[in-house]
Amino acid sequence: MDERVKKELSAIVEGCIQFDCPMDKHTTLQVGGKAEALCLVKGLPELRELLWYLRAERIPAMVIGNGSNLLVRDDGFRGVIIHLGGDLAVMDRNNQDKTMLFAGGGVPLVHLLHFCQQEGIGGLEFLAGIPGTVGGAIVMNAGAWGREMASVVEEIELVSMEGNLIHKDRSGLDFSYRRLSIPPGSVIVRAGLRVREEKPLKVSSMVAAFLKEKKATQPVEYPSAGSVFKNPPNDYAGRLIESAGLKGTRVGGAMISEKHANFIVNAGGAKATDILTLMALARERVREKTGIDLELEIIVVGT
Ligand SMILES: Cc1cc2nc3c(=O)[nH]c(=O)nc-3n(C[C@H](O)[C@H](O)[C@H](O)COP(=O)(O)OP(=O)(O)OC[C@H]3O[C@@H](n4cnc5c(N)ncnc54)[C@H](O)[C@@H]3O)c2cc1C
């Protein structure tokens, strides 16, 4: 990235930019090389200008939330990583319709749930322990305990890679298992979520129960990116990897979790290549044993 582009990017995001940004600091797996730049974008006009500029300059870009479903390769990302904050990470409740909650794409789910517990808002408790943001959870159609984002999202606003603001309501959203199809390069900036009034204590106790269950069944004590593979129809990726005898297998600093075989954890000093090697091994062994081709749930970033 040349000095002119660096200067122009800095001006657009008012200095909220880090060049040669190590992505292990921005992903829950805590691995990965550097991105050429990471921009913190705090408002809609800024985001639209940034996307327009990146497109005009033909600079690759990617928005991230909390990096909780990402594996960035050791060579990093050639381009600009966009992270939403400021006005794009606030929540507001609709006073006319108490069953709607609006949240910016950059709102961390943990803040969303905290707000729900304080305000007595039910319906989103299933998100407890999912360490993402609203935008990331919608794109990944995150879910647990039989519920998923598709069941609560009423509308979204996104900014296209040309910088246009687009509104989509529920009927125009194409959700599938762990995916929402949106135009490539677009950024979810706001969502309307269907909720219900609930006693704060009930919300808190449901959240606590889900967190307890996650702690008991998932290796939350290690850095990870959650489930590595999608569950194939009528089966579980974790069960298949476990029956292939791979629990506890290590490559470098990465390990297939002893607690939940669909989690690959960073057991200390892992490189992205260690994790990619374990992913390839799990796929190969499961394919050999069952003929099932496991599909990745996590997003691999970089070339
Ligand atoms: C310990 C642990 C437990 C987990 N448990 C679960 C679980 O129970 N269920 C589950 O579904 N997942 C789970 N996950 C995975 C992960 O937390 C979810 O997929 C989460 O929704 C990802 O959100 P994020 O903001 O971190 O997105 P990121 O990982 O940062 O990004 C994921 C994808 O979303 C895109 N994206 C992010 N923000 C936006 C935006 N504003 N607009 C457009 N695109 C965007 C990115 O470009 C990328 O393609 C878990 C992960 C961990 C580490």
- Long-range contacts: 172-178, Cβ < 8 Å, 24+? 175/141, 175/148, 175/149, 175/150, 176/141, 177/141, 177/230, 178/140, 178/141, 178/142, 178/143, 178/230, 178/297
Asked whether residue 94 carries a pLDDT value surpassing 80, the answer given is: no
Ligand 1 atom at shortest distance from the alpha carbon of 142: 11
As a whole number of Å, the end-to-end CA separation of the chain is 17
> How far apart, in whole angstroms, are the C-alpha atoms of residue 128 and residue 109?
8
Asked whether residue 183 carries a pLDDT value surpassing 90, the answer given is: yes
Flag whether the pTM goes above 0.85: yes
Compute, in angstroms, the gap from residue 2 CA to the centroid of ligand 1.
Answer: 31
Catalytic residue check, 297: yes
**Which residue puts its alpha carbon closest to atom 14 of ligand 1?**
226
Taking all residues of the chain, what is their mean pLDDT, rounded to a whole number? 96
Residue with token string 């374990």: 278
Q: In what order do the strands lie in the sheet with 264-266?
A: 250-251, 254-256, 264-266
Ligand 1 atom at shortest distance from the alpha carbon of 189: 41
> How far apart, in whole angstroms, are the C-alpha atoms of residue 43 and residue 45?
6
Asked whether residue 96 carries a pLDDT value surpassing 90, the answer given is: no
Ligand 1 contacts CB of residue 32 (under 6 A): no
Catalytic residue check, 160: no
pLDDT tens digits, one per residue of 133-175: 999 999 999 999 999 999 999 999 999 999 999 999 999 999 9
| pLDDT reported for residue 95 | 77
CB 93 within 8 A of CB 48: no
Task: Read off the pLDDT band of 98 (50, 70, 90).
Answer: confident
For 173, the token pair is 């959203």
Which domains occur in the chain, in start order?
3-86 (3.30.43.10), 90-217 (3.30.465.10), 237-301 (3.90.78.10)
Compute, in angstroms, the gap from residue 69 CA to the centroid of ligand 1.
Answer: 4
| pLDDT reported for residue 103 | 97
Catalytic residue check, 179: no
